[in-house]
Amino acid sequence: MSKFSELINQDQPVLVDFYADWCGPCKMLAPILKQVKDELGAEVAILKIDVDKNQALASKYQVRGVPTMLLFKNGKQVWRQSGVLQKEEIIKVINTA
């Protein structure tokens, strides 16, 4: 958990993707997040958290469905969304955070 706290306490926005290997929509979201990272580069950090391997973390953030994305800025959660979003929507959220 402390490693996670360290990661979300960066100056740049950190997008956390809570996913599961068995989840169809999660598989659709993965290439979209890659495009977001390719476009924004160092402006954003993207973390993928497997809910099956990190149940305590998923529980702490009350992740009940996957995929769920959380956006952190300086360690504070500033946005949350479940489901698949398009690249443009995700980039807009990151840029306005």
The confidence band for 1, taking pLDDT boundaries of 50, 70 and 90, is low
Q: Is the pLDDT of residue 2 over 90?
A: no
SS3 call for 72: strand
Chain-centroid distance of CA 3 in Å reads: 16
Average pLDDT score, the chain: 96
Global pTM? 0.95
Cα distance between residue 69 and residue 79, in whole Å: 8
Q: Is the pLDDT of residue 29 over 70?
A: yes
DSSP state of 50: E
Q: Can you read off the two tokens belonging to residue 66?
A: 């996957």
DSSP state of 61: T
Residue 26 among the catalytic residues: yes
Q: Which of 26, 40, 63, 70 is catalytic?
A: 26
Tell me the pLDDT tens digit for each residue of 4-17.
Answer: 999 999 889 999 99
